[in-house]
Chains A and B, each alone.
Chain A
Amino acid sequence: MIEWFTWLQLAIAVPGGLLCVILGLVGRKPTDLTMGATALVELMLIVQLAAAIAAPLAGNDATGSLLEFYTYLISAILLPVAAGFWALVERSRWSTVILGVTCLSVAVMLYRMSQIWNVQGS
């Protein structure tokens, strides 16, 4: 896990998630903007997955449990996909809110993942 990249992810997932929640609550259906934000969050998660697999080869090992880390990462990767499908099938304001809730959930999971990787001594 690359630390600065994780912070970059959080810097996108949190404002993106809040934006989706707000736009959804004011009644917007899913748009390119909100779908795009969610897609970007998803894309960065996949980059993070590749980074997590590659990092130990470069001597950047997780300090905590890898099992726990990957459970979070895989769950996080599934979320935006599910929310995105939902938004495509059901084009209502609530789908936009759900996109936002998903991005925020991913942010929480990323934060936990960074704790497991960087902070948690085993």
Chain B
Amino acid sequence: MIKSQTDVPVPSSRVSGIGRLLIAIYGVLALAATGRSFVQIVRAFDDAPLAYALSALAAVVYIVATVALIQRSALWYRIAWITISFELAGVLVVGTLSLVDPALFQHATVWSIYGSGYVFIPLVLPLLGMWWLLRHPVAPAQSRA
């Protein structure tokens, strides 16, 4: 793989250039979501089983998405799309519900109020991820799966 100081118009890999930054931020968010759900579940799962189970699910999805962005094959490319779409749907649905019906999500999740507890990164990141995936598709023929 050729590494270059400047941005190459047609990167050889999805894991090059600014994509690495995206992966790093995904990694941090995965860690943050995992940490939070760990604390919530250990401390008082019974307080809010729905919110806390959702936190854990979100954490797992972020981890899978991080891995999927690193891996370069048609299968992982599809998994990246699925997980990132799921995140976007999650942050939109839970974000809206947490505003419309706060009683449903009294306990914070990563996605409450569109991820305001995480500087709205959960809202912006899936969009960046999708943009990245669109710009760097992996055709089944060229994959190493």
Answer whether residue B45 sits at the interface, using C-beta atoms and an 8 A cutoff.
Answer: no
Could you tell me if A67 and B43 are in contact, using CB atoms closer than 8 angstroms? yes
Interface size in chain A (residues, C-beta < 8 A): 23
Could you tell me if B21 and A94 are in contact, using CB atoms closer than 8 angstroms? yes
Closest Cβ–Cβ distance, residue A108 to chain B (whole Å): 8
Closest residue of A by beta carbon distance from B17 = A94
A27 to B35, CA, bound (A): 33
From B22-30, B74-82, B83-91, give the one contacting chain A.
B22-30
Closest residue of B by beta carbon distance from A98 = B24
Could you tell me if A105 and B28 are in contact, using CB atoms closer than 8 angstroms? yes
Could you tell me if B20 and A94 are in contact, using CB atoms closer than 8 angstroms? yes
* B31-60 near A? 1/0 per residue, CB < 8 Å: 110011011001100000000000000000
A19 to B43, CA, bound (A): 38
The one of B20, B35, B36 in contact with A95, judged by C-beta atoms closer than 8 angstroms, is B20
Inter-chain contact total with CB atoms closer than 8 Å: 47
Could you tell me if B24 and A86 are in contact, using CB atoms closer than 8 angstroms? yes
Answer whether residue B144 sits at the interface, using C-beta atoms and an 8 A cutoff.
Answer: no
Answer whether residue B142 sits at the interface, using C-beta atoms and an 8 A cutoff.
Answer: no
Chain B interface category by residue count = 20 to 34
| Chain B residues within 8 Å of A120, by CB | none
Closest residue of B by beta carbon distance from A71 = B35
* A57-76 near B? 1/0 per residue, CB < 8 Å: 00000000101100110010
Closest residue of B by beta carbon distance from A74 = B35
Closest residue of B by beta carbon distance from A105 = B28
| Chain A residues within 8 Å of B35, by CB | 71-72, 75
| Chain B residues within 8 Å of A92, by CB | 3, 5, 17, 20
Give A residues with C-beta under 8 Å from B.
Answer: 27, 65, 67-68, 71-72, 75, 78-79, 82-83, 86, 90, 92-95, 97-98, 101-102, 105, 108
